[in-house]
Structure 1
């Protein structure tokens, strides 16, 4: 089926949720009124690493409105520890208390929870809780963590090396020996945080009579969240309902069950009173999850023409102090998919993940973000070292259409992608040779222009088989239900958790397509574990392929039953000549489709209210449930081109142009896809330019406010020119591929490569981010000083 055959998929429909959200009628956690709710506030450690000697709460309890103060010892009675111990070679098992009992491991670690009648009274009481600490030496960098004599962040482990995996494919050592040159490159990505507009928050309502917890929380994964919450409170899942209303952004930060949220739930049960909590912005910057801090080194064995013969990758990732996820999870995916659009079969990777006295890591939009920068940065390094054109180096190494399907060295299979096509289209659109001529003229005038290229192969679906092959616990399946009501109204649901992706638009288009009704007739229900089917939630750009695909398949099953009923009512032998279109039953006669007298409402009334009129043996009603485990991995692809001008006197970077040629398969909603593309690129550029969670040598967070943790605004970002080149996947329902994270990957690589291209005459190489003016000036000054010696 091509896009022209679709009735609803791919049509330009305004986002359905926008009217509610933009007119102030959204319903977020703070909009939920729970009479009599108490307020929680957390006492946090000022130290990065310290033993807890005592916690004195007496003075706090004497303050007005303060009802209780609970410590880690209290929570340990009411909850179980989090144990992260999947059976993976090289991964150390770890456990975590709900609140620290013996020691704190980062600045901002919660050590006590104050319960008050008012949030502001609770915050005032923080000053009255006296915690006596024995301050310990902090492990503030990944390099210190790897030192044999460094203090242990987790004293139950033999060292700070949380996870270590090595994998060899082919014979890289032989390739290095036969190579014309072995070219080494390094890439350092800085620590960042997700910074959703709506910070973390929750409301716990315990029903003592029913022994039931209703938990309101903004989460991307309602059902897995409920499973974890119930288990850690020693409850069954039947005793817990998780409700996720409108959520003001997640980006991966709202997946895990955090210690504060578990504490609030346990305290509400203990006190038999509703309890609510909302972190402020400083808490979010200091104590919520972080991501991205890693160091990569590649050694590329190449021939004289720049052809890649063999590749070594070394990754060291700073995972922070606590493991909410398996330690190999993020970096291992980078290693598995690193080679992306380039041909190489001799490949070795070594992945080390270490613990430090910082906030624990979690996936952030595009947890494999560094991948494309590393690979295309390596291509640029090859061109630089051998004096070759960087576009030609990419051409000689890039997959061609006839190479597909291509099995990567790690066993991952690339199919139905178009990296060569998007690369050539982007080069043509940007005017590559014209740029090179213009660049030379500008250099003669003392101006430094640069063009960065980055071709992305984005992993999107993460089926169960991928997790298994990667040694990562978890399922990749999704679930959907669809119910056509007696009136013909259509209600649908999937197990995703919406955090601003536009699901109410795109997923209703998928369901409408499968059923053959207008999208306006479909109503989506998300985020309520008593209503939605058990799915794996929103993460890894799986919403379209796993969520939309499952709903599309479920709707097709519903359509088959609708047409079977229609055939009986029309006295036809079968439904082969029938279809649904626009909510009406149509019949093909003489090669033309024409409406019959039947609508979806007619069929629904019959199914529910006149079951004796149904085909023999058919059950009444129109309710359907579908589970679907997508392919091990689905890939989409794109090519990013970024033109910049760098002022060598100040280190300032000015965008001249930004272009993306994108192939993300069948587009459910053009409006949603365009918004996702813009948002992902903006996030990547902002992170590469400004965002930096900065810790000093003592483990103190120096970026605890938005005056210190800078984020790009629309004023700092360029116009994004999107060139759609979509081709469907043959392995997924409706040909959907996904695309929500590739923009981050491409932006990081294209921008950094552009700066290096601009500064090539200066003889410096940018190999770490953020690309601040201070960093660029430091590189240039150091180069000048070396030249003068």
Structure 2
């Protein structure tokens, strides 16, 4: 279906969910009133690494309102440990208890849980739980963690090396030996965290009569979370219902079943009373989940014109103390897609992931965020080393339109992307040549401007074949159902978990387009495992391609049955009929004429007069469809950031930000634009401000928003978006998806802009955050 044929897709529309969210009528976990619910509070370790000698609970138990105090030994009787052991070469297995019974592994590790009549009593009692620790040496640096005498984080991981993968395609060594020059560059991201407005929380209700658990939680993946929760409680999945209401942000932090949530569920079952928990901001920053903290070194072999002959990548990532995800996964995607939109044949990587005494890692919006900065930063390094224009070096290495589809060295197939087109459009939009003139004039007056460019190829679908090829158990499919009610209104559902992205309007558009009804007639149901079909949830940019694609195809199936009934009713061939805004029309030559038959008429007939249906058609209008998208599809974009640097203070001002993006067919351009703004803001914030800091003893020194800084609207520029969308030929409706590319592009664009501004001083920023203190440190010896 071409873009011009769409009636609802590719057209901006208001988000219907905004009314309740903006007027205070949203329904979050804390808005769910549960009579008689107890409140949980966790006792956490003040040490990064220590042996638990003993835990004294008597004083806490004696306090008014306290119902129970439980420890890891109690949870061992009620839960099963998490075993993370996918069969991947170079990845070691690990196990995680509900609460540690012998050793704590990071500052903030939960060691006990107090349950009381209200939150105040629980928090007061938690202070009366006395834990006797025997402190042990800690390691909080990923380089130190790999040294032979480093303290061991997990006894199942000798040497703290949890994952080590290598790869080679072609002969990078030979390319280096014959190259004009080999250019090295390094890149380092700080440890970051997700900072959702709504921190983690849950409420568990155990029905002893039915032996059934209802678990309220803000989750991106309701069905997979239910599967894991049931398994760890030794229950059948039919004994567990997960309900995820409105969610105040997630960004990857609300995918895993964390230990606190498991403990709350186990306590509700054990006490036979509802139990709820909400973490505070200190807990969220220090003990929820972290991300990023990775280091990359590239070696690029080039000819005299800067043509990339080979590339080798050395990557190290600090995964923290616990693995709630396969430890290789985040780094593997970086290595897999590193070449992005650039032509490369000889490529090798060496990726090591280490454990340390820090909070464990989780995916964070764009877990492969460093990728585009590394690749485009390498291009910038080549241009600096050879004295070439970075735009011309990019042009020389970009995959040309006639070279597509392009098979990357790691086997990824790039097709239906437009990197050359988006890049050239961006260069024109920012007035590249004119900027260079302005830059020279400004430098003559003591002002330092910089322009940073970054090309992005964003992986989106993560279909089942991707997981199979990666050796990771799991699926990338999505399931949907549609039910046209007897009155003609449409209910639809799918397995993704919304966390504020605007799925209700986007998915309603997918149904409306496939069926032929107005989106206002479609109600989308998500986040309830007893209602929604089993799906893989929201992560990455899969929701549009997999979820929207599933609903679009399911709606087309519904339309075929509706038209079959209408055709028999009207005595017309099905291919001469169509549905527009819920009305059946018939073709008369080149014109379409109204028939007077509506979707409501067909629905009433299907449900209330089934004997009148054509032979072979069953009563009712209910449909179910599962869709497994391609192993991987890609969208692409080109980013530009203009900055001005105050060399006296190191302050960096963001002057202009422009992005040209191609993400295929849009479910709702209003939602897409919001995602673009949000992703770019997140990337800029991470690059400029965010850093989770641990001292040598493993103490987290950034446990509040006074210490862990994030960007506000005052620090962010206006964002100019140039839409250049072209459909995919391999997905339903041509959807490519997007959500994370803005993070990737922003990180590279702003860092390249700073380095452009600092170029007269011969220094290069190769690590984040780009704080004024760091910039002044770079410039100090050059001024």
User: TM-score, normalization: structure 2?
Assistant: 1.00
Aligned 1:644-659 pairs, distance under 5 A: 644-659=643-658
The answer to whether structure 1 residue 448 and structure 2 residue 448 are counterparts is yes
CA distance in 2, matches of 1:549, 1:127: 51
Query: Which residue number in structure 2 is paired with residue 583 of structure 1?
Result: 582
Equivalent residue, structure 1, for 2:745: 746
1:72-119 Cα offsets, whole Å, 9 max, x none, are: 000010000000001110000000100000110000000000000010
* Alignment partner of 1:566 is 2:566: yes
Deviation at 1:471, TM superposition (A): 2.5
Query: Is the partner of 1:335 in helix, strand or coil?
Result: helix
Residues 755 and 765 in structure 2, CA contact (< 8 A), matched pair in contact too: yes
Instruction: Give the match for residue 787 of structure 1.
Output: none
SS of 1:273's equivalent in the other structure is coil
Displacement after TM superposition at 1:571 (Å): 1.5
| 1:492 alignment partner in structure 2 | 492
- In angstroms, what is the RMSD of aligned CA positions? 0.6
Partner of residue 696, structure 2 = 697
Distance 1:531 1:94 in 2: 34
Match of 2:165 in 1: 165
Measure, in 2, the Cα distance between the counterparts of 1:116 and 1:45: 20
Alignment of 1:593-672 (within 5 A): 593-672=592-671
Deviation sequence 1:629-659 (CA, Å, 0-9, x none): 0001010000000000111110000111100
- Please give the alpha-carbon distance, in whole angstroms, between the structure 2 residues aligned to 1:369 and 1:120: 40
- Tell me: CA distance 1:782–1:53, structure 2 relative to 1, closer, same or farther (3 Å): farther
Aligned to 1:476: 476
Shift of 1:466: 1.1
The 8 Å contact of residues 113 and 126 in structure 2, kept in 1 or not, is answered as no
Aligned pair 1:250/2:250, yes or no? Answer: yes
Question: 1 CA distance for matches of 2:478 and 2:37?
Answer: 35
Shift of residue 36, structure 1, vs aligned partner? 0.3
Q: Which residue of structure 2 aligns with residue 97 of structure 1?
A: 97
Residue 416, structure 1, aligned to residue 416, structure 2? yes
Q: Distance in 1 between matches of 2:579 and 2:303?
A: 59
Distance (Å, rounded) in 2 between the aligned partners of 1:643 and 1:96 = 46
Q: Whole-Å Cα distance in 2 between the matches of residues 345 and 472 of structure 1?
A: 26
Aligned position for 2:536:
536
Residue in 1 that maps onto 2:33? 33
SS at match of 1:326: coil
**TM-score normalised to structure 1 length:** 0.99
| CA distances 1:361-407 after superposition (whole Å, capped 9, x unpaired) | 01000000000000000000000000000000000000110010000
State the distance in 2 between where 1:17 and 1:33 align: 22
Q: How does 1:89-128 map to 2 (within 5 A)?
A: 89-128=89-128
Checking the alignment, whether the CA contact within 8 Å between 2:461 and 2:546 is kept in structure 1 is yes
User: Which portions of structure 1, spanning 4 or more consecutive aligned residues, are displaced by more than 3 angstroms?
Assistant: none
3-state SS in 2 of match to 1:122: helix
Count of residues in Structure 1 that have an aligned counterpart in Structure 2? 783
Aligned-pair distance for 1:8?
A: 1.1
Structure 1 position 765 matched with structure 2 position 764 = yes
Structure 2: how far apart are the matches of 1:98 and 1:416?
A: 46
Measured in 2, the distance between the counterparts of 1:539 and 1:655 equals 30
Answer with 676-685 or 773-782: which moved more: 773-782
Cα distance in 2 for residues equivalent to 1:698 and 1:151 = 12
**Counterpart mapping for 1:205-354 below 5 A:** 205-354=205-354
How much has 1:783 moved relative to structure 2?
4.0
CA distance in 1, matches of 2:89, 2:156: 18
Q: Distance in 1 between matches of 2:666 and 2:11?
A: 9
Give the unaligned 5+ runs of structure 2.
none
2:713 pairs with 1:688: no
Distance 1:234 1:393 in 2: 58
What is residue 67 of structure 1 aligned with on the other side? 67
Please report how far the alpha carbon of residue 203 of structure 1 lies from its aligned counterpart in structure 2 after TM superposition: 0.3
- For residue 739 of structure 1, report the CA deviation from its aligned partner: 1.0
Q: What displacement does 1:594 show?
A: 1.3
User: Post-superposition shift, 1:7?
Assistant: 1.1
Match of 1:85 in 2: 85
* Deviation per residue, 1:37-70 (Å, 9 max, x gap): 0000000000000010100001101111111100
Indicate if the aligned counterparts of 2:147 and 2:159 stay in contact, CA closer than 8 A.
Answer: no
User: Are 2:467 and 2:474, in contact at CA under 8 Å, matched by a contact in 1?
Assistant: yes
Taking the aligned partners of 2:758 and 2:351, their CA distance within structure 1 comes to: 31
Aligned counterparts of 1:90 and 1:783: Cα–Cα separation in 2 = 44
Distance 1:367 1:162 in 2: 18
Q: Does 1:779 align with 2:778?
A: yes
Structure 1 range deviating more: 267-276 or 147-156:
147-156
Q: Which residue of 1 aligns with 2:514?
A: 514
Q: Is the 8 A contact 2:93 2:156 kept in 1?
A: no
Structure 2 residue matching 1:716: 3-state secondary structure: coil
Counterpart Cα distance in 2 of 1:600 and 1:63:
63
Give the SS at the match of 2:422.
helix
